[in-house]
Structure formats: structure tokens, C-alpha cells
Chain A
Amino acid sequence: DTAVSQTPKYLVTQMGNDKSIKCEQNLGHDTMYWYKQDSKKFLKIMFSYNNKELIINETVPNRFSPKSPDKAHLNLHINSLELGDSAVYFCASSQGRGSNQPQHFGDGTRLSIL
């Protein structure tokens, strides 16, 4: 069984559209994350979400918003997509908000903006 699953795996869309990427984890973890892999292949944290507490990286545009219907899901919604949003987005989860627990990653969603 996949522990952290993201859908879709690939997303191709036009500039200006609104899109969502879904993430689900079946590990029973209480903290979930979204990362963006930038053009230099760095993994950059976008959000972490734990028990309804959202921590937002200050560099993330407010066109990006995470939505968590329950503890096992953290979806990423993006409004008014721009060319610079093209990247691979990774979801992850861990147990607890502390930094001493390993994170488990999904396989990534490759977003391409035309």
C-alpha cells in the first residue's frame, strides 16, 4: 500500500487557470507538508499543517493555499497559475510537529504551465 499518495502525477494546464493537487497519507501521521522542487532541484518547504495549525513559508505567494479536510489529507490549491509555478510538488507527512521524526514523501506531481 502506498503510504503517501499524490494525484495527479502529471498536470499540464494553461496560465491563469486554477488547479488542485491532492495528497493522502495512510500512515496515521498528524503533520503534513507541501514542498516545491525548484529549478535548481532544491526541495523548498511551502507549508506544514498539524492539528489545524498552518505554518506558511513567507516566500509562498498567496495564490497557493493548502486545504485539509481531515488529518489524512492535505490538498494544494493554486489560483491564477503563472509560468513560474512550473515545478515538481511533493507532499510529505510525519508524526508530530517536532523535527526529530522522519518525513515520508509522495512521488511528486509535475506541474507544467503552458
Chain B
Amino acid sequence: ILNVEQSPQSLHVQEGDSTNFTCSFPSSNFYALHWYRWETAKSPEALFVMTLNGDEKKKGRISATLNTKEGYSYLYIKGSQPEDSATYLCAFPTSARQLTFGSGTQLTVLP
């Protein structure tokens, strides 16, 4: 059974703070690692798909890094804003190329 684990489960930060969270996944048979943002009452929205060890991707104030050998990815948010409040999910493909999602990190940015 593949386990994708995310930490912390929830996080409260002040507006302007930078923050980061972790996704751990099995390091064997790596295909890709996905990050999604899921705002309340909306649908999950793709942030990044990372495929190479050492990959670093950036989208505005959000960036992510990938270490496939040790099986983790970090998501960073620089200068958090209230609109960044959401659940951040990572997902890892199984051998059938179907995504296994983590339980997410719920971020609340306080004004």
C-alpha cells in the first residue's frame, strides 16, 4: 500500500509570514509528484507536477522542491496572504498511474 503523508495537518500563520509544509512519499518506483490547492467550496487546482530529482518549481509566491531519493517534497509560500488560505494536497501516482492523495495541509492566513 502506498502512503503519501503530509505535515503539518493544519497551520495558522499571520499575513506576511512565509511558511512551508512537507509531503513524504515512497522513494521507490517514482513517477511524479503533484501539488494541488483546494479552496473551500471549490475544486482542487493543480499547482505543480514535478518529475525530476532536485526539481524546483515556482508560481508567483509559491514554490516547491523535490527529493526523490529520500522521498519528500516541500511547498513554500513566501509572504502569505489571506487568499492563500486553502488545503494543499500532494499526490503520488501508483503503478497503475492513478493518483494517491495525501490528507492535505490546511493553511489559514490570518489578516
Contacts and interface: CB of A to CB of B under 8 A. Distances in A.
Contacts of A101: 49
Size band of the interface chain A makes with B = 20 to 34
Interface stretch (A12-20, A70-78, A79-87, A102-110): A102-110
Interface string A84-106: 00000010000001111111111
A104 B104 CA distance: 17
A60 B43 CA distance: 22
Nearest to B48: A102
A97 B89 CA distance: 20
Interface in B43-83: 43-46, 49, 51
B99 A102 contact: no
Interface in A21-48: 33, 40-45, 48
A57 interface: yes
A57 to B, nearest CB: 7
B57 to A, nearest CB: 11
Contacts of A90: 43-44
Nearest to B45: A105
Contacts of A45: 98-100
B105 to A, nearest CB: 12
A55 interface: yes
Interface of A: 4, 33, 40-45, 48, 55, 57, 90, 97-108
